Structure 1
Amino acid sequence: MKFLHPAIKEGKKYLNPVPTSIETGTSIWAVLWKYLTNKNETTPKKQLGPFSTDTSVYQQPPASGLRITWVGHSSLLIEVDGLRILTDPVWSARASFSQSFGPKRFFPAPLSLQNLPPLDAIIISHDHYDHLDKQVIPFFASSNVPFYCSIGVGQYLNAWGIQPERINEMNWMDSFQITNNCKLTALPARHFSGRKLNNRFETLWSSFVIKTNNHNIYYGADSGWYDGFYEIGEAFGPFDLTMLEIGAYNTSWADIHMGPDNAVHAHLALKGKLMMPIHWGTFNLALHPWYEPIQRLLVLAAEKNIPLFLPKPGEPTEVTGAYNSKWWM
């Protein structure tokens, strides 16, 4: 297949599946001026929440075999067929190198780290601040939960207290058996990496398939649209649930973020049965109104007959079909 192969490096930098631009095409001052003069409601005018989690729910396994707690953005506690998997855990108030400035959460994490149930795995898709939280990783240093991450991300985990033997770095197409009942596979995505301006592309970025005997799930993390979604759907689909980014889009970022239109396109290419939008409603990361992604998605999903799964932040919710909590309204 054209796209389903391990990532390729050119010098120190990993390459995307297709030629990809991450530049805005304008100067940093022009971009700053756009943000300063933008009149859209990029941050909610009214306080969202507060949201909280009834942790007593975790004492009983989901009757359906699949339950998800959305902490916000791309942080998900996935309970699937006896396993608990946490994706891209970001709990900090700001997705930034500093907690003094940068994109701020619209609402506090509804589930505290201390109240998380025991985990079987933590997935880190890439090293951007809104997916890899330096303040969170040390919390797991004294546990024995294994990490599964894209190549190069392990250096950060190790520096922040995670023992090397607990870190499993993955190239695209690599697989690990988390248990006999669960196979995790890293797959290509169209994005980039870097926690500084001078180290972009030097660690890898990935999407993931979580497959058990009873469920097949796609965690898209961050990606722009490309035809590889068709190949993933053919080789690894159909998927009971696709978790795809719909927020923080801009015409200048069309190569590296999908937005609702291309997320719908990707869901169909993946042969998804049910779609859960992620990467929205949590941080101010773009110029569009904060609620625009979900409003647009609801229209598109109705047109394409795509059932959506929209749980309330922090609410452990069984995945049994279409569900709309309307939490943002």
Structure 2
Amino acid sequence: MKRRPHGGYPLYPASNHYDPIRRRFFNPEPKRRLQPLDFGGAFKMLSRKGRFPAQSLPFAKPDFAAFMRQERLPEDEQKAQFVWFGHSTLLMRVAGLNILTDPVFGMNAAPNNKMFRRFQPPPAAPHELPPLDIILYSHNHYDHLEEAFVRSVADSGVHFLVPLGMEVLLRRWGVKSENISAADWYQSHTVGGVTFTATPARHDSSRNLADHNRMLWAGWAVEGGGQRFYFSGDSSYASHFADIGRHFGGFDLVFMENGQYDRRWLDNHMFPGQTVQAAIDVGARRMMPIHWGAFSLAMHDWDEPVCCSIPLAIERGLQVLTPLIGQVFDADAETGFWWEEV
């Protein structure tokens, strides 16, 4: 079978983050180079006990009946509902739409079943979820995009919202073109009264050695039901967070990347202080840390991200939200520091 040139990826107009000659995306604020792990560093990373919880994490079995119940209330009393499955997988119900972000339900965040094992099974299986309207993806890394899940819902009629280029991958996995909408930064799609806008991020993309940065990476702003939310996806800290804050005028709740950082990849993920500053930059009324609680992809202790970021956020006067994995919650929920009991 003859392969299409450039892997079948479309040619996009030149921009401050796309090179049409190389057909690759790039960061307007360049990242510093990764420092490779030597054998000793790799062994230390894989053997460090603190990277994994010493016991099972507490969780709640999602009450999907409660999750769906808001629509019975008068419209002015309805609040968006959320369930966190660990890492960056969130189920949202906004203005009557069920929205799932970066769904990964398998036991590995890698192309094989021997690396980056999940701490424990997610609190619900994919078949237990309520009917989905939208699946939102931030980028194509294995801890955010799971081929098996995509294939399992490809014929369900759910609509996929993705950054530019990811539509090529989804079509390969069986999703029909009419069920995919791809967006560049600051491009919006409105579905059922909810507006989804792709936002800048400072990261990268790849599934293999040949497709590096062929697909864009992004965060998402979600606006509906009189509320505004921000899902950061993966990003290192840069000026785009302040730009997002100016563009949207703030958010009721932000789901901000917090974890999997390391001095060897300084510009791939945010350190705790940067997570807090990013939440302040985008104008968060309240911040929920994500990108932790399911996988260990770095050398820090499994709970170090929140042990560091939460006190810093409180010190800066930023309200925090830290629900149990599987708990149904809204932007005003009262939550505790459950990891302190593990």
Which position in structure 1 is the counterpart of 2:62?
53
Do residues 318 (structure 1) and 330 (structure 2) align?
yes
Q: 1:105 corresponds to which residue? A: 118
Amino acid at match of 1:72: G
Matched to 1:160, the amino acid is W
Given residue 14 of structure 1, which amino acid in structure 2 is its aligned partner?
F
For 1:163 and 1:142, the matched residues in 2 are separated by: 8
Q: Which residue of 2 aligns with 1:262?
A: 274
Distance 1:49 1:320, change over 3 A: closer
Native 8 Å contact 2:161 2:181 kept in 1: yes
Match of 1:283 among 268, 292, 295: 295
- Structure 1 unmatched runs, 5+: none
Are residues 46 and 238 of structure 1, via their aligned partners in 2, closer, same or farther at CA, if it must alter by over 3 Å? same
Q: CA deviation at 1:128?
A: 0.2
Q: Paired residue for 1:149, among 162, 176, 191?
A: 162
User: Equivalents in 2 of 1:59, 1:124: separation in Å?
Assistant: 22
Q: Is the 8 A contact 1:7 1:188 kept in 2?
A: no
Is 2:217 aligned against 1:205?
yes
Q: CA deviation at 1:12?
A: 2.5
Query: Structure 1 residue 248 and structure 2 residue 248: aligned?
Result: no
Deviation at 1:158, TM superposition (A): 1.4
Q: TM-score, normalised by structure 2?
A: 0.88
Corresponding residue SS for 1:60: helix
The 5 Å alignment of 1:154-193 reads 154-179=167-192, 181-193=193-205
The aligned runs of 1:86-101 (5 Å cut-off) are: 86-99=100-113, 101=114
CA distance 1:142–1:303, shift in 2 (3 Å): same
- The answer (yes or no) to whether the contact 2:303–2:339 under 8 Å persists in 1 is no
Of the candidates 65, 73, 82, which is equivalent to residue 87 of structure 2?
73
Q: 1:236 aligns with which of 243, 248, 256?
A: 248
Amino acid at match of 2:180: I
Match of 2:135 in 1: 122
1:41 is aligned to 50
* TM-score (ref. length: structure 1): 0.92
Supply the distance in 2 between the matched residues of 1:184 and 1:215 (Cα, whole angstroms).
12
Equivalences, count: 321
1:43 alignment partner AA = F
SS at match of 1:122: strand
Please state if 1:195 is matched with 2:204: no
| Residue segments in structure 2 that go unaligned for 5+ positions in a row | 1-14, 72-76
Please state if 1:84 is matched with 2:108.
Answer: no
* Residue 217 (structure 1) shift: 0.7
- TM-superposed deviation, 1:229: 0.9
Query: Do the aligned residues in 1 keep the contact of 2:293 with 2:302 (CA within 8 Å)?
Result: yes
Between the two proteins, what is the percent identity of the paired residues? 33
Match of 1:29 among 17, 39, 48: 39
Partner of 1:18: 29
The 2-side partners of 1:274 and 1:31 are apart by: 36
Instruction: Specify which structure has the higher proportion of helix.
Output: 2
CA contact (8 A) 1:190 1:225 kept: yes
Q: Cα distance, 1:322 vs. partner?
A: 5.0
Which deviations, in whole Å up to 9, do the C-alpha atoms of 1:4-47 show, x marking residues without a partner?
x77322613211121113512x35535424425x6450011212
Judged with a 3 Å threshold, the aligned counterparts in structure 2 of structure 1 residues 229 and 316 are, in CA distance, closer, same or farther, namely: same
Indicate whether 1:7 and 2:21 are aligned. no
